[in-house]
Amino acid sequence: MSGTFAWHLLRKDLGVGPRSPIFLYAIVLPVIITLLIRVVFGSLFDPAPRLGIVDEGDSQIVRNAGAIEGIDVRFPASAAALKEQVENNDLDAGLVLPTGFDSALQAGQTPSVQFFFGGQSLASNRVVLGVTMVDLIREVAGSPAPIDVETVTVGEGESVPIVSRMLPLIVLMAVLIAGALTPATSLVEEKEKRTLSALLVTPVALGDVLLGKGALGFFLALATGTVTLVLNGALGANPAALILVLALAALMSAEVGLILGAIAKDTKALYTIWKSGAIVLVAPVAFFIWPNLPQWIGKIFPTYYFLSPLFDIAIRGAGLADVWVELAIGFAACAVLLPVVYTLARRMEASLAAT
Specify which of 11-20, 117-126, 162-171, 312-321 reaches the highest per-range mean pLDDT.
Answer: 312-321
Alpha carbons 259 and 333: distance in angstroms, whole number: 14
Q: For the CA atoms of the chain, what is the radius of gyration? A: 26
* High-pLDDT (> 70) share of the chain, %: 79
Residue 208 main-chain phi, psi, to 5 deg = -65, -45
pLDDT at 115: 82
Q: What is the pLDDT of residues 208-229, one digit of tens each?
A: 888 888 898 999 999 999 988 8
Question: Of the ranges 35-44, 76-85, 117-126, which one carries the lowest mean pLDDT score?
Answer: 35-44
pTM of the model: 0.67
Is the predicted pLDDT of residue 151 greater than 90, yes or no? no
pLDDT at 176: 92
pLDDT at 110: 76
Is the predicted pLDDT of residue 1 greater than 60, yes or no? no
Asked if 84 contacts 77 with a C-beta cutoff of 8 angstroms, the reply is no
pLDDT at 122: 67
Superfamily of domain 50-154 in CATH is: abc type-2 transporter like domain (3.40.1710.10)
Question: Residue 152 — very low, low, confident or very high, per pLDDT cuts 50/70/90?
Answer: low
Alpha carbons 178 and 162: distance in angstroms, whole number: 25
pLDDT at 116: 82
Average pLDDT over residues 17-24: 64
Alpha carbons 51 and 17: distance in angstroms, whole number: 47
Alpha carbons 91 and 74: distance in angstroms, whole number: 9
Question: Residue 153 — very low, low, confident or very high, per pLDDT cuts 50/70/90?
Answer: low
10 Å Cβ neighbour count for 339?
9
Q: What SS3 state is found at 200?
A: helix
Q: What is the pLDDT of residues 283-303, one digit of tens each?
A: 999 999 888 888 889 999 999
Task: Enumerate the β-bridge partners of residue 51.
Answer: 73, 93
What are the angstrom distances between the C-alpha of 75 and each of 78, 94, 136? 9, 9, 15
CATH 3.40.1710.10 residue window(s) in the chain: 50-154
Average pLDDT over residues 298-324: 92
Question: Residue 4 — very low, low, confident or very high, per pLDDT cuts 50/70/90?
Answer: low
Is the predicted pLDDT of residue 342 greater than 50, yes or no? yes
* DSSP structural state of residue 180: I
Residue 186 main-chain phi, psi, to 5 deg = -60, -45
Task: Enumerate the β-bridge partners of residue 154.
Answer: 118
Burial class (CB in 10 A: 0-12, 13-18, 19+), 253: buried
Average pLDDT over residues 29-45: 66
pLDDT at 302: 94
Query: What is the signed CA dihedral for 37, 43, 44, 47, rounded to 10 degrees?
Result: -130
pLDDT at 45: 47
pLDDT at 175: 93
Question: Residue 157 — very low, low, confident or very high, per pLDDT cuts 50/70/90?
Answer: very low
Residue predicted with more confidence, 348 or 23: 348
Alpha carbons 170 and 271: distance in angstroms, whole number: 21
Residue 154 main-chain phi, psi, to 5 deg = -120, 155
Is the predicted pLDDT of residue 146 greater than 60, yes or no? no
Average pLDDT over residues 263-273: 90
Q: What is the pLDDT of residues 62-89, one digit of tens each?
A: 888 777 777 888 888 888 898 888 888 7
Residue 124 main-chain phi, psi, to 5 deg = -65, -40
* High-pLDDT (> 90) share of the chain, %: 25
Angle at 332 between CA 330 and CA 335, to 5 degrees: 115
pLDDT at 149: 47
